[in-house]
Amino acid sequence: MTCLVVPSLGFFCSSQCVDYSGACWNETTAGCIACAQNIFNIGANWTSTTPCTLLSQRTIVANELPNTPAMSLAGYSSTQVSPVTCSNYTFSGQYTSADYLFKNFTNIALNHYQIIVRFNVGYVGTWSESDYLRVTLGDSMQIVNHDYYYSCGNGSRHTFDNITNITTIYGNEENINGQVGYNSSDCVRIREYTLTHNTSYLTVKFSALTTEANPAVQFWGIKELFVVTKDCHSYCITCFGGLSSQCLSCAAGYYLQGNVCLQQCDPNFYIVLDTRVCVSECPLRYFSNVDSNTLVKQCLAC
């Protein structure tokens, strides 16, 4: 079996690019014409290769499994011991129905409300539309399975205006059943999943449901894995969204009134100093006080 048949239509783009076809000059991370719009500023450079630039309120937790022969599986639990290179594309291994790739990402800062997992998957060999890749994401609060059915349909769902640098997105749905375009069953596809998340770790496991256990007939592999948090407003420590009005707790120097972090509470509210929360009346085991210097109304612990 040929390791990977690359179509004459062009390159399989990096997972940093907005699309798997038509959005890049080449297969490298610096080769994007337009970048993944949920992580990066979408525009890149029309005349030379330029790295994608990160959006505000985004933090890259992991940028791993690069598309180079030097790819390492250090830190991963895997049924494959080493990556495999096919043409210009390096994958985490030649995985079949019984294989998996797993990692626990730890020490994630809590000032976020969602986490994005974005990666490239290579489908090589003979596949059925009923075959799928499964991504299992977990933390202390949840375990989520998301299935990506095999699809090597045609190509770009975006067009790019190289004069005005305007990108028009016609849709970002995967072409699952309309197998149009590529005649080969081989392809590389970008996958992305966004999970509501605000804990300090995330487990990521890749597996597949297929009927084929022979890698000479069919295999899959992962490359260019990004784990990115969507972060709180700078006033917040924890939050349920990216706005200053979506805070659950506040940074130093700010007080939480409702879901807004303020530098001082409204005049009709008291500050609970040890929790930095604004309240209309002091809770049990606290007494009201007015600071003689600032005239700020406070709730002090009994």
How far lies 271's CA from each of 108, 236, 278, 280, in Å?
30, 17, 5, 9
Residue 150 has a pLDDT of 86
Residue 195 has a pLDDT of 96
Q: What is the C-alpha to C-alpha distance for residues 27 and 4, in angstroms, rounded to an integer?
A: 14
Q: Which CATH superfamily is domain 57-151+175-231 in?
A: Galactose-binding domain-like (2.60.120.260)
Q: What is the C-alpha to C-alpha distance for residues 182 and 36, in angstroms, rounded to an integer?
A: 23
Compute how many other C-beta atoms are within 10 angstroms of the C-beta atom of residue 197.
21
Q: What is the C-alpha to C-alpha distance for residues 252 and 255, in angstroms, rounded to an integer?
A: 8
Residue 178 has a pLDDT of 32
Residue 167 has a pLDDT of 43
Report whether 193 contacts 135 (CB < 8 A).
Answer: yes
Closest of 8, 13, 14, 20 to residue 172, by C-alpha: 20
CATH of domain 243-301: 2.10.220.10
Report whether 13 contacts 24 (CB < 8 A).
Answer: yes
How far lies 19's CA from each of 203, 208, 300, in Å?
25, 23, 56
Angle at 177 between CA 127 and CA 18, to 5 degrees: 90
This prediction has a pTM of 0.84
Residue 160 has a pLDDT of 45
Based on the number of CB atoms within 10 Å of its own CB, is 98 exposed (0-12), middle (13-18) or buried (19 or more)? exposed
pLDDT tens for the chain, 302 residues long, are 457 776 655 688 999 999 888 888 888 888 888 899 899 988 755 555 668 899 999 999 999 999 998 999 999 999 999 999 988 899 999 999 999 999 999 999 999 999 999 999 999 888 888 899 999 999 999 999 999 988 776 444 444 444 344 444 443 333 333 333 333 468 899 999 999 999 999 999 999 998 888 988 889 999 999 999 999 999 999 999 999 999 999 999 999 999 999 998 998 898 888 889 999 888 888 877 777 666 678 877 87
Residue 162 has a pLDDT of 42
Q: What is the C-alpha to C-alpha distance for residues 12 and 14, in angstroms, rounded to an integer?
A: 7
Full DSSP string of 254-299: -EEETTEEESS--TT-EEETTTTEEESS--TTEEEEE-TTT--EEE
Residue-range domain boundaries for the chain: 57-151+175-231, 243-301
Q: What is the C-alpha to C-alpha distance for residues 67 and 65, in angstroms, rounded to an integer?
A: 7
Residue 282 has a pLDDT of 87
